[in-house]
Amino acid sequence: MNTINHQDCLSGMNTMKAESVDLIITSPPYNIGKSYEKRTSLDAYLAWQREIIKACSRVLKTGGSIAYQVGNYVDNGKVYPLDCMLFAFFLENKLIPRNRIVWHFEHGLHCTKRLSGRHETVLWFTKSEDYTFNIDPIRVPQKYPGKKHYKGDKKGELSGHPMGKNPGDVWQISNVKNNHPEKTDHPCQFPLDIVRPLIKALSNPDDLVLDPFMGSGTVAVAAAQLNRNYMGFELCHEYIEIANRRMGKEVFGFSEQLTMF
């Protein structure tokens, strides 16, 4: 608990107790030849992901959630959205689909033979019908905060929720490019603003959040900031060192008021 293990996540998860984790948030390699992965055939990649998703499902508590963040596998100009390719693997583990969150960002590569990609997705599944979902901590301001019912029983009362509205399933959040304040030497960080609302909504204080592909430690940092426990696996020792440095810098002095959600 509260460590990042220098270990392959599949063998690591296979040594964990079944039903021991409250929430899994992760972003796996996409098999696109990044420095931390060895590109392989799409079939081999999907077979590996199938094993990972099965292992995640085993360690997840009844009542728990998985949030799986992915983009595209691209092969010689052919674009395969990974959420579509992986969806059936969650269903075959009896996981229940709740949302497909579209993460929209403004910056990225400029394509010349197709539209430039400006979104990735987060697939959210629960293990059972009874699950943690805290909407209040992730409400966002109403468009018209003072708007009231103008007729009927509720005439004169506020028509929107006074604490703000449900943020919906399209989130506009900057990706972590070179000038982003969270940027480290890891080539593919996801932003804290993707992870924090998921942790707030899908877990409670003192719960355990697992990231099998911890990278620069974004899930660990967000979990610690929000008083959750974390655990993770990462193959590259250099990224674990980056994550440990972030833990010291970004957890101490964190103020919730500064975040978007």
Residues lying near ligand SAM in the complex (CB under 6 A) are found at 8-9, 27, 29, 36-37, 186, 188-190, 213, 215-216, 218, 233-236, 239
The distance of closest approach from Cβ of residue 243 to ligand SAM in the complex, given in angstroms and rounded to an integer, is: 8
Side chain identity, residue 132? T
Considering the complex, state which of residue 20 and residue 142 has its C-beta at the smaller distance from ligand SAM.
Answer: 20
Distance CA 117, CA 108 (A): 7
Considering the complex, state which of residue 162 and residue 248 has its C-beta at the smaller distance from ligand SAM.
Answer: 248
Q: For 144-149, which contacts have Cβ atoms below 8 Å and span 24 or more sequence positions?
A: none
**DSSP secondary structure letter of residue 17:** P
- Beta strand 72-75 with 78-81 is antiparallel
User: With contact defined as beta carbons under 8 Å apart, do 24 and 65 qualify?
Assistant: yes
Considering the complex, state which of residue 188 and residue 202 has its C-beta at the smaller distance from ligand SAM.
Answer: 188
The distance of closest approach from Cβ of residue 171 to ligand SAM in the complex, given in angstroms and rounded to an integer, is: 16
- Edge-first strand order for the sheet with 60-70 is 3-5, 229-233, 208-211, 21-26, 60-70, 119-126, 96-104, 170-172
The distance of closest approach from Cβ of residue 130 to ligand SAM in the complex, given in angstroms and rounded to an integer, is: 28
Considering the complex, state which of residue 7 and residue 142 has its C-beta at the smaller distance from ligand SAM.
Answer: 7
Considering the complex, state which of residue 83 and residue 234 has its C-beta at the smaller distance from ligand SAM.
Answer: 234
The distance of closest approach from Cβ of residue 155 to ligand SAM in the complex, given in angstroms and rounded to an integer, is: 49
Distance CA 71, CA 209 (A): 22
The distance of closest approach from Cβ of residue 29 to ligand SAM in the complex, given in angstroms and rounded to an integer, is: 5
Considering the complex, state which of residue 64 and residue 217 has its C-beta at the smaller distance from ligand SAM.
Answer: 217
The distance of closest approach from Cβ of residue 6 to ligand SAM in the complex, given in angstroms and rounded to an integer, is: 9
Residue whose C-alpha is closest to residue 231's, from 24, 14, 8: 24
Q: Which residue is nearest to ligand SAM (CB)?
A: 215
What residues contact residue 259 under an 8 Å CB cut-off, 6+ apart? Answer: 192, 193, 196
What residues contact residue 257 under an 8 Å CB cut-off, 6+ apart? Answer: none
